[in-house]
Amino acid sequence: MVVCYRPGQVSADAIAATVCKLGYGAKAIREDEETPREHGAGGLKKRWAWSAALLLPLMVLHHVGESALMTILQLLVLLPILYINRVIFWRGLGALLKKAPNMDTLVALGACAAVADGLGNMILQHCGVCYFESAGMILTLITFGKWLEARATGKTSAAVEQLSALLPSTATVQRGETTERIPADAVERGDIVIIAPGEAVPVDGLVLNGASAVVESALTGESMPVSKKEGDAVYAATTNGNGLLRVTCTKTRNESAMADIIRLVGDAAATKAPISRMADKVSGIFVPIVMVLALLTILAWLLAGSGAAFAISCGIAVLVISCPCALGLATPVAIMAGVGKGAKAGILYRNGEALEQAHSISHLVLDKTGTLTLGAPKVCDVIPTRGVSREELLQVAAALENGSTHPLAAAILAAAPQTPTIAPEECSYLPGRGLVARLVGKICLCGNARLMQGHNVEHDIPLLNRLAAEGKTPLCVVRDGQLLGTIAVSDPLRPDAASAVQRLQQMGIHLMMLTGDNAHTAAAVATRLGINDYRAECLPADKEQTLAKLQATGTRAGMVGDGINDAPALMRADVGFSLGSGTDIAHESADIILAHNRLEDVAHAVGLSRAVMRNIRQNLFWAFAYNILAIPLAAGVFYPLCGWLLHPGVAAAAMGMSSLCVVSNALRLQRYSFSHPQHTPNTMNQTITLTVNGMMCPHCEQHVTKALLALEGVLSCTASHLDNSVTLTLGAPAPDLSSIKSTITEAGYEVV
């Protein structure tokens, strides 16, 4: 239980004492203490087993006869059952005294009424009909139902327990000249941890020395090992390969990324969604109403001339069968099952509200860089001028960018044939244009068309426009006033971006792409993915304002982002999604974290939310329907007409079965299937080039590209009005050539 309170007015111990007075156990948990996750299933099983063992002779005695001796023997056998299940009376009657009656209140009152009625008959009549066996049956069956519920709750928390089991309990630490094996919890920041081949990594840290391949599937979902060398980061719960690693601890076990995931999943399972709070309010109103109905039932039958035993039996049946356990279980068990299922798939809901809200999203705003794309630019085109080799062009560009931290610089350095041995003697960075530097005594430039125009350097404007229209960033390289060539850098789309966009659109969600990139790049990415609604050159404030405008119209809007600049929009969104590779502030601002870094998991998170809400509605419907139908039957409304009457023991069994049905329906969510579309390997792709006449400008190229990408099986398309060509990459199944040609013709162009 999480409680927010004012320390000056009340203490944690006072809160715990109040809970204990209601019949529950409570103890404040320190921040560094792990939250206990025992559900008491073992204790409930013992209570039920002893109660059932005593109930059998009690029922035999009830049917033997109605003598005074049999009545006394029934009472003696009942007393141990009452003692074993005394916690129900403490909780139920304690809550009634606090003017907050709950489900246990109805059970306690029903059992007390049966015992009081039996004692009255025994004292006044010395024999007669006694309902001691009804009280025993009620308590036994209720305990059985609670045991089943506790087992179900334990199953829904299995995801947290499985995640916790991934963290090793011990670690080998080198302190000075000695090496010792200590509990993983005792490892401190700065300690040197030795990780042997095949061992699980106990803490987050940086490799001090050694090399190995680490399996990070526990965090990323990827089964392929990741190479680790000096300076690389390793994470707790991942598994070391064949190499020995010495790691400097940067985060303790309780601060590790896996520990954060475990806390996130546990907190989400423990929080109440809005629909759950609604069910609680209904239960709070329903219990007093049932108590009044039970009293009215007894009075009505007494006024009708029935005996006291019959009237009390009907009243007890109303109390027991109306116990809204099913109503109280309808939401939390489904929420916990959904959170656990999501955690196993790497979908981490921050709380129950996030799980509920995701189902109602109608608009989804997508960031481009790092979300739809990989966020790691790569060189895709190297176009040297006549007399200049490809290697020379890349080598000069790499030397100019040597020492720069810009992402484009990293892409050029990675593509260079060899690591540059020289660096610029003087270098001036011009934001939004490029750089001007002196390299081996010569003035060199590396930048966009604006930089070339500012220095009066002749460059191929149509070529730059074509590259920009394809979503690429063209950079011109100049040495001593001579254009050496053009290098195009692009940020590749995520492998699952197209399938994720398609699935979200099939789910009826309107997609909007907002990016700070230029209009040409934004248009190219949006066209390739089939996103019709996009906006370029957006600042962080623009993204936040766009979401605010959508929400002002009553739209439920979500946001998918990964960077610091996405944080305001993630906070503004009804539901914020952050990829696992995103920044810490993006994770803190988001409601749902996609730990496996798959864009498709956005659709899976929404789909799971819809399944959970559908399950909750089913549970609530049957819980309400059960009570509405069962109360008149228990009250004996149909007895004068059909002779139908509900025995209190049968009512207890029916109540338990209703709870079992609700829990079983919720646990069906554990079988929910996430479908991961299979991507066609590049080795199976086919590339064709067609000659197309009639394209006059980059806008014509875009028109043709958009039309062809709409065809199923077309993975990518590059059109050029300069050489009248269209190059297509086709997947499987690929469209036939006649369909491609007719599409181009319908767009207004001629295929030769």
- Tens digits of residue pLDDT in 677-713: 444 344 345 778 888 888 887 667 777 877 887 777 7
- Judge whether 266 lies within some domain: no
> Whole-number mean pLDDT of the chain?
80
Residue-level pLDDT at 171 = 93
Do β-strands 686-693 and 750-751 pair in parallel, antiparallel, or remain unpaired? antiparallel
What pTM was computed for the model? 0.61
Same domain as 87, residue 21: no
Same domain as 127, residue 161: yes
What's the CATH code of the domain at 440? 3.40.1110.10
Same domain as 293, residue 151: yes
What's the CATH code of the domain at 700? 3.30.70.100
- Judge whether 616 lies within some domain: no
Determine contact, residues 196/240, Cβ cutoff 8 Å.
yes
pLDDT greater at residue 57 or residue 37: 57
Same domain as 482, residue 501: no
Same domain as 600, residue 518: yes
- Judge whether 278 lies within some domain: yes
pLDDT greater at residue 495 or residue 624: 495
Minimum mean pLDDT among 28-32, 123-127, 251-255: which range? 123-127
- The token duo for 317 is 């049946």
Alpha-carbon distance of 195 to 173, in angstroms, equals 9
- Judge whether 338 lies within some domain: yes
Average pLDDT estimate for 61-86: 83
Residue-level pLDDT at 114 = 72
pLDDT greater at residue 31 or residue 56: 56
Same domain as 138, residue 282: yes
Range of the domain at 4: 1-32
Average pLDDT estimate for 498-511: 91
Minimum mean pLDDT among 172-176, 319-323, 635-639: which range? 319-323
Same domain as 415, residue 331: no
CA Rg, the chain, in Å? 35
- Judge whether 621 lies within some domain: no
- Judge whether 82 lies within some domain: yes
Same domain as 314, residue 223: no
Determine contact, residues 211/228, Cβ cutoff 8 Å.
yes
Provide the number of structural domains found in the chain.
Answer: 6
Residue-level pLDDT at 43 = 81
Portion of the chain with pLDDT greater than 90, in percent:
16
Q: Tell me 313's DSSP state.
A: H
- 581-611 pLDDT, tens digit per residue, is 665 666 677 889 888 888 999 999 999 999 9
Average pLDDT estimate for 656-674: 79
Same domain as 89, residue 12: no
- The token duo for 291 is 């108590």
- 542-589 pLDDT, tens digit per residue, is 888 898 899 888 888 999 987 666 777 888 888 989 887 665 666 677
Burial of 71 (0-12, 13-18, 19+ CB in 10 A): buried
Identity of the residue numbered 305 = G
Interior/surface letters 246-284, b for 16+ CB within 10 angstroms, e for the rest: bbebebbbbebbbbbbbebbbbbbbbbbebbeebeebbe
- Judge whether 294 lies within some domain: yes
Same domain as 566, residue 550: yes
- Judge whether 618 lies within some domain: no
pLDDT at 17 over 70: yes
- Residues with Cβ < 8 Å from 738, sequence gap 6 or more? none
- 159-181 pLDDT, tens digit per residue, is 566 667 778 889 999 988 889 99
pLDDT greater at residue 272 or residue 729: 729
Same domain as 136, residue 173: no
Residue-level pLDDT at 449 = 86
Average pLDDT estimate for 105-109: 76
pLDDT at 313 over 70: yes
pLDDT greater at residue 685 or residue 414: 414
pLDDT at 265 over 80: no
Could you say which of 459, 490, 521 is where a domain stops? 490
Same domain as 210, residue 193: yes
Q: Which residues are catalytic?
A: 367
- 425-458 pLDDT, tens digit per residue, is 888 887 667 889 998 889 999 988 888 988 888 8
Residue-level pLDDT at 444 = 93
Burial of 143 (0-12, 13-18, 19+ CB in 10 A): buried
What's the CATH code of the domain at 548? 3.40.50.1000
Minimum mean pLDDT among 161-175, 318-332, 369-383, 622-636: which range? 318-332
Average pLDDT estimate for 189-211: 92
Residue-level pLDDT at 563 = 67
Portion of the chain with pLDDT greater than 70, in percent:
83
